[in-house]
A and B are shown apart, each in its own frame.
Chain A
Amino acid sequence: MTEIESTWKALPVSAVGALYINGIQRFVRENLFVFFGAGTGFAVSESLGWREFGLGAGLVLLVGLLVAMIYHRRFRYCVDEDSVRVRKGLFEQQELKVRFERVQNVGFSQPIYLRPLGLVRVTLETPGASQTEVSLPGIASTEATVLRDTISGAAGRENGPERPVDSGDLAQAHPQPSAAFSTSAADLFKYGMASNQIWILLAIFGAPASNWVESRVSTWVDQLSASGIVDMEMLSSAPIVLALLVVVLILSLSLVLMALSGVLAIVRFSGYRLIRETDRFKSRFGLLDVREKSLKLAKLHGIETVQTGIGRMLGQWHAIGHQAGAVQLEQAMNDDRRFLIPGIGDARLESVVDTLRGRSWDVPAWSGIHPRFRSMLWGRISLVLAVAALLLWFSLPGRVVWPPLAILGINILILALIHLRWRRWAYASDGRRMRIRSGSIGQKIVEFDLASCQQVEITTSPYQRRHMLASLAIRLPHGEQAIPYLPRAIADEIANRLLYRAESSAKHGL
């Protein structure tokens, strides 16, 4: 074990820059909507010019620098034999202590601006809210490695057998243990194309961007009609051609966005490698920001594999290793904490899941949910929409036909989606492990050990009671999984089995 002196230490002076950039990034990310509000206001207002904008931005940057310097001045950390303590705070002092055995993950991250300084950002994740996690925003990478090995050593002592400790600078050539899984740039590009992040970005940026696009497009249209290449009169008299043009425009825009998302995924996950050590998984990836994450095998409570709608066309999956404690919403908002394995092709999916599970599993056949799930939803939604269509038809002057017809068209679309959802929803279990599949166009499969169940709930509506059906909700350490519309006897049997496995296994929640 490497000797670590337990004194309060300050961060290196070179870390001020890192704190500054990190702080500005976080400030922008956390106040994204405020920035968009301000940006839109700035664009709309005529009395504000570039000079005011520059002054405002300069002021923010200057204050940021001041804050970073004070933060650095007051930040102290101390590594003991069995814990890390951190003292920080701008106005009030806060002291956090994390015992090594509580640490689930040691995350390393080395953004591009830290690389020449030889610094690494270290995050110690514990089960629970993100406020309680300790992060050292910039320490020498050699020190970071020693710290990680100390923590792993503490875990190793607890678990008995010693584990191989790999040391080396994160940025430099690393001794390369054989990877259990690695992705190519092409796979990552496909992952980016299929991932939903671009649509979330579009939703955020959409509103301010649409103003700009609208003004730009209208000038283009003016120019085009003035140049005489396209005859606007002709276009407006041919609505189908116009509609086709708009569809082509939207499609090509989506393709550009998807390609952009693909490139972003390559930058973020470049050179992704998943490495299995004795008691943990480790992943290392990133082009500009090199990251390393670890996941203790004993803390892995569920394996989620996801295929989005576009991912289905491209044959692409990604997997998430779920740990206890992290609240689902928080995970969705801050995917930095998730243990994500991107860019898994159809053919390699089972081998990746086997790796995460630690052994192979002969998955039983899927059992679907009861057809009444579909017929009940079909009946009720059609009834509501048919009544709406009739009311609309009666209330509109002149008895126009197309609005009620449009409602009926939407109805058919919804019915098709319900059918897909019903067909997708299924479970597979051999009495020890279970898989639950859900989704409509895309799909999500969650696999877990029955023993990790935290709570079982069986709900019945009057309709379900009439037809001897029930819905099952299973609470796992990382969130809830539901199987609706099971025959009552089967729901009861699954619930009994879950309880039996949870109660006969010695291990508890954490």
Chain B
Amino acid sequence: MNQHEEMEFSNPSVAAENLPDYCNVGFESLAPTFRRYTLVSTLAFAVPVVAAALVLWALPFIPLAGWKILLIATALSIPLLLVGIFRWIDAGYRGWALRRHDIIARSGVVWRSVTALPVARIQHVETTHGPLERANGLARLKLYTAGGLTADLVVIGLDRDVADQLREYLVEQIRKRDADDSQTSDD
């Protein structure tokens, strides 16, 4: 590829301070309903536990006293509650930003990471939403590059309209790029 590139364009070196800095970008926070969604979707896992406890409580021939069953069910639900709280906090640290040439996502409470994906490398864009996400008006944006089997970057907790707009915008960028490519046809 190097030789091709040498022929195609000249690219003078750029001093580090003149490079566009991804750190200066202002991150958009996620949709306000995302926090509610994280809590509800985590607590949804507690429903079967509570239901089982109630059924056991109602059955007359179970030798355990009623309050013990409730205690066990509560004990089982505590880790879920902690996970829910963690995800609530985590939602505050997530964010995304769209620049002209790339899309950047931020996540993590303890181990924080910033991921940048050049728009020129995106092969395929997809938005998905589960039933709970739909109920909260949310969607997730999945971005695929060449070579990978799974999505390379997933931005969760977007407002559904925003996700659709982003998808349309990125698809348009890919279409333009491919049209340019077939004109200069080198690959």
**Of B56-64, B85-93, B115-123, B126-134, which binds chain A?**
B115-123
Which residues between 87 and 111 of chain B lie within 8 Å of chain A, taking CB atoms? 101-102, 108, 110-111
Q: B36 to nearest A CB, angstroms?
A: 28
Query: Which of B102, B113, B119 is close to A458, meaning CB atoms less than 8 Å apart?
Result: B113
Contact B114 A458 (CB under 8 A): yes
Partner of B2, one of A358, A500, A501, A508: A358
Q: Tell me if A505 and B117 are in contact (CB < 8 A).
A: no
Q: Is the CB of A357 within 8 A of B113?
A: no
Q: Which of A35-43, A386-394, A491-499 contacts B (4 or more CB under 8 A)?
A: A491-499
List chain B residues, Cβ under 8 A from A324. Answer: 146-147
A477 contacts the other chain (Cβ, under 8 Å)?
yes
In this complex, which of B2, B5, B147, B185 has the most chain A Cβ atoms within 10 angstroms of its Cβ?
B147
Prevailing SS type, chain B contact patch = mixed
Tell me whether A503 and B102 are in contact (CB under 8 A): yes
| Cβ-defined contact, B115 with A503, below 8 A | no
> Distance in Å from the Cβ of B175 to the closest Cβ of chain A?
13
Please judge, given known A-B contacts A431-B13, A478-B147, A505-B5, whether A456 and B101 are in contact too, CB under 8 Å: no
Most chain B CB neighbours (cut-off 10 Å) among A129, A301, A458, A477 = A458
Q: Is B22 an interface residue (CB 8 A)?
A: yes
Q: What number of B residues sit within 8 Å (CB to CB) of A?
A: 46
On chain A, which size bracket covers the interface? 35 or more
Residue of B nearest to A465 (CB): B112
Query: For B118, what are the chain A residues with a Cβ–Cβ distance below 8 Å?
Result: 453-455, 499, 502-503
Residue of B1, B111, B152, B186 with most chain A CB atoms under a 10 A cut-off: B1
The 8 closest A-B pairs by CB, nearest first: A509-B146, A503-B101, A459-B113, A496-B19, A502-B118, A457-B115, A454-B145, A510-B146
Binding site for A on B (CB under 8 A): 1-5, 8-9, 11, 13-14, 16, 19-23, 101-102, 108, 110-121, 123, 145-149, 152-153, 177, 180-181, 184-187
Given A324-B147, A460-B111, A475-B148, 16 more A-B residue pairs with CB atoms under 8 Å apart are: A298-B1, A327-B147, A431-B13, A449-B5, A454-B146, A455-B153, A458-B115, A459-B113, A465-B112, A500-B19, A501-B11, A503-B101, A503-B102, A510-B123, A510-B146, A510-B187
